[in-house]
Amino acid sequence: MKTEHILIIRFSALGDVTMTVPVVASLARQYPHVHITMLSKDFVRPLFEGLAPNVSFMGADLKTEYHGVKGLNALYRRLTAKNFTAIADLHDVLRSKYLRLRFDLGRYKVAHINKHRQSRCQLVSARNKILRQLPTAFENYAEVFAKLGYPVQLDMGFKMRELPLPSGGEIAADNMLEGGPLIGIAPFAAHEGKVYPLNLMEKVIAQLAERHPSARMFFFGGGQEELAVFQQWAKQYPRCMVVGDHLHGFDQELALMQRLNVMISMDSGNMHLASLVGLPVVSIWGATHPYAGFYGFGQRPENAVQLDLPCRPCSIYGNKKCMRGDLACLKNISPEQIINKVEAVMFG
């Protein structure tokens, strides 16, 4: 009897790959006899290591080692040596399409994601907008496995295994995680249309520090500009800490998130990382909308902070220029709206 072995292809941004984790975990648990290999960028490896006994990870860099058609052909030859019996393309972009074409020609069982592009266009249309919930990314991923003959019931109670904080260092010290509440703040995202204005976010921090003097706040984000903002805030508000100064890698950040009470995040990868460990997220939405299907796994809908504007949402990914020119969807959200949601999570 031939061993069943599924190859899953998903590159792209951190949030998109992170959203595959609960689906892959559900698949692995429901089909323990099937071996599953995740193919993605190597930096997301910690998200899949230890996920399940029948899950393994392969890293591939499509910009260097496997660049262009020649590189994809080399990657295909490497993959065929693994004797896969089914191919799940959860990305559906030019490079993954080329790989699955090769597998199709090789008579492999292949299925790919349906991104519901027409419905997405209707959701963000400036005219004749149809505001309704689209299938979630998790449902879209699960549908691919169903096409391959592996229907998946999503485990809505999924949480990643408990991770240890690195020994030593200021965050690992007992007094850093005592008392509370412990609040994570991830104020950045890839596009301007998803970022709450920093001057307003600082007001959120200031008011939380004043109203809850025993609270500790941890700033998540890694870019140089982000770290510079965090350093400034940490100097001004003494019970705040820049996570990137003390922890390195998703596994360490996830270990800290497991110990927090709530996270404030944009529609970004940190919302999805927090969701993996069951951390409640107060998420802030501007140009994008939870209806597009990218809400955090298992997060409560009432914890989303957003305004009802006729132009919202104007973008699926937040990368379009504001048609109004004023980003009112973000600038008109008051700090009090966010703080009220945070307090409802902490004390509700």
Q: What is the pLDDT of residues 30-69, one digit of tens each?
A: 999 999 999 999 999 999 999 999 999 999 999 999 999 9
> In the prediction, which pLDDT does 174 show?
54
Q: Delimit the CATH 3.40.50.2000 region(s) of the chain.
A: 5-147, 174-347
> In the prediction, which pLDDT does 248 show?
86
Residue 316: which of 191, 210, 217, 161 has the closest Cα? 191
Residue 262: which of 318, 228, 216, 223 has the closest Cα? 216
174-347: CATH architecture: 3-Layer(aba) Sandwich (3.40)
Comparing 10-19, 113-122, 242-251, 286-295, the range with the smallest average pLDDT is 242-251
Determine if the pTM surpasses 0.75.
yes
**Per-residue exposure over 55-86, b if at least 16 CB sit within 10 Å of its own CB, e if not:** bebbebebeeebeeeebbeebbeebeeeebeb
> In the prediction, which pLDDT does 165 show?
87
Phi, psi of 159 (to 5 degrees): -140, 145
Q: What is the mean pLDDT of residues 261-265?
A: 98
Pairing of strands 55-59, 240-242: unpaired
Judge whether residue 190 has pLDDT over 60. yes
Confidence of residue 186 (pLDDT cuts 50, 70, 90): very high
Q: Virtual CA dihedral for 338, 277, 133, 326, nearest 10 degrees?
A: 40
Judge whether residue 250 has pLDDT over 90. no
For 71-112, what is each residue's pLDDT tens digit? Answer: 999 999 999 999 999 999 999 999 999 999 999 999 999 999
Judge whether residue 118 has pLDDT over 70. yes
Phi, psi of 223 (to 5 degrees): -70, 160
> In the prediction, which pLDDT does 258 show?
96
> In the prediction, which pLDDT does 176 show?
75
Residue 286: which of 244, 250, 324 has the closest Cα? 324
Judge whether residue 345 has pLDDT over 80. yes
What CATH superfamily is the domain 5-147?
Glycogen Phosphorylase B; (3.40.50.2000)
Mean pLDDT, all residues of the chain: 95
- Tell me how far CA of residue 66 lies from CA of 57, 61, 77, in angstroms: 17, 6, 11
Q: What percent of the chain has pLDDT over 70?
A: 98
For 253, other C-beta atoms within 10 Å of its C-beta total: 24
> In the prediction, which pLDDT does 272 show?
98
Give me 254's structure tokens.
């996830």
